[in-house]
């Protein structure tokens, strides 16, 4: 294997990591808000959140990236607006698509975890004079979050791997450098094997980190 490709590929690693981290955090914040909307049954907003979930879990991530990157440019109204400097950047568009996609899946996951919290947890809150909101925010969500962590760990890894699609809208992430190197050398097998191994290593590290966190926050269920 030709090791001189490695430094070239690693130039894209920073972008991949940054894109993954920012998308995940944005997606997480959105998912928590969406979950609260669904759990408190805020009427008009519930409808919007359900639509968002339908659209972003029902279509391929690649199409979402394309539409967010190429779509707004078709409208002069958007091109003249203050958000255009953001929406014209491939990095921001890829981040937005990944965040919205992750938010949709995470919301389903969090809502499922909340619904799986036993009725007895709610009943104890009610019996101690908590309001519905206090119960949800202080007891039910923290319990559900712990239960949701193993599944959310998978979501983290999916977003990390999904970020490779950002290279299709000119972003030079790990995959972007791999594609360019391939076009320059035609050494397809070596270039993509090395890129794949780097992704594999990142997945390995993330898996270990998630295991470690699970070990801490799920300590209560091991006794």
Partner 1 sequence: MGIAVQSLSKSFGDHQVLKDISFSISKGETTVLLGSSGAGKSTLLRMLNLLESPDQGTLNIADMAFTFHKNQRTGQKQPSSAEACQLRRKVGMVFQQYHLWPHMTVLENLIEAPVQQGMLKPEARTKAMELLARMGLTDKANAWPSSLSGGQQQRVAIARALMLSPEVLLFDEPTAALDPAITNQVVEIINELQASGITMVVVTHEVDFARKIASRVVYLENGEIVEEGTAERFTAPQTKAFERYLQH
- Confirm or reject binding of residue 189 to partner 1 (CB under 8 A): no
Of the listed pieces 54-62, 84-92, 121-129, 179-187, which binds partner 1 according to CB under 8 A?
121-129
The residue from 129, 186, 212, 216 that contacts partner 1 (CB under 8 A) is: 129
What is the C-alpha separation between 194 and 181, in angstroms, rounded?
Answer: 11
**Among residues 19 and 144, whose Cβ is nearest to partner 1?**
144
- Confirm or reject binding of residue 40 to partner 1 (CB under 8 A): no
- Confirm or reject binding of residue 216 to partner 1 (CB under 8 A): no
Of the listed pieces 27-35, 92-100, 200-208, 214-222, which binds partner 1 according to CB under 8 A?
214-222
For residue 33, what are the CA distances in angstroms to 17, 75, 149? 24, 29, 17
**185 C-beta neighbours (distance < 10 Å), count:** 13
Residue closest to 176 by CA, chosen among 91, 84, 82:
91
Binding mask 76-115 toward partner 1 (x if CB under 8 A, else -) reads ----------------------------------------
**Among residues 49 and 114, whose Cβ is nearest to partner 1?**
114
- Confirm or reject binding of residue 131 to partner 1 (CB under 8 A): yes
- Confirm or reject binding of residue 146 to partner 1 (CB under 8 A): yes
**Among residues 189 and 218, whose Cβ is nearest to partner 1?**
218
Q: Which two tokens stand for residue 37?
A: 């909307």
DSSP 1: -
Distance of closest approach, residue 45 Cβ to partner 1, in angstroms: 20
- Confirm or reject binding of residue 128 to partner 1 (CB under 8 A): yes
First to last CA, the chain: 49
Q: Which two tokens stand for residue 60?
A: 């391929």
**Among residues 8 and 121, whose Cβ is nearest to partner 1?**
121
Residue closest to 39 by CA, chosen among 116, 99, 146:
116
For residue 127, what are the CA distances in angstroms to 112, 119, 130, 134, 142? 24, 12, 8, 13, 19
What is the C-alpha separation between 183 and 178, in angstroms, rounded?
Answer: 9
**Among residues 71 and 142, whose Cβ is nearest to partner 1?**
142
The binding site for partner 1 (CB under 8 A) comprises 120-121, 123-132, 134, 138-139, 142-143, 146, 219-221, 223
């Amino acid at each position: 294997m030709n090791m001189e490709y490695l430094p070239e590929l690693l130039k894209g690693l920073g972008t991949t990591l940054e894109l993954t981290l920012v998308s995940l955090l944005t997606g997480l914040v959105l998912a928590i808000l969406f979950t609260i909307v669904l759990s408190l049954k805020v009427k008009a907003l519930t409808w919007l959140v359900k639509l968002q979930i339908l659209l972003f879990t029902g279509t391929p991530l690649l199409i979402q990236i394309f539409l967010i990157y190429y779509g707004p440019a078709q409208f002069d109204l958007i091109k003249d607006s203050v958000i255009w400097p953001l929406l014209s950047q491939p990095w921001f568009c890829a981040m937005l698509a990944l965040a919205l996609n992750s938010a949709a899946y995470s919301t389903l996951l969090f809502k499922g975890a909340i619904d799986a919290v036993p009725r007895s947890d709610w009943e104890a809150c009610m019996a101690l004079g908590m309001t519905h909101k206090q119960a949800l925010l202080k007891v039910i969500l923290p319990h559900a979050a712990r239960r949701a962590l193993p599944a959310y760990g998978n979501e983290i890894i999916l977003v990390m791997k999904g970020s490779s699609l950002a290279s299709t809208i000119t972003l030079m992430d790990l995959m972007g450098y791999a594609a360019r190197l391939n076009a320059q050398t035609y050494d397809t097998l070596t270039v993509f094997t090395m890129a794949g191994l780097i992704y594999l290593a990142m997945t390995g590290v993330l898996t270990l980190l998630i295991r470690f966190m699970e070990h801490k926050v799920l300590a209560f269920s091991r006794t």
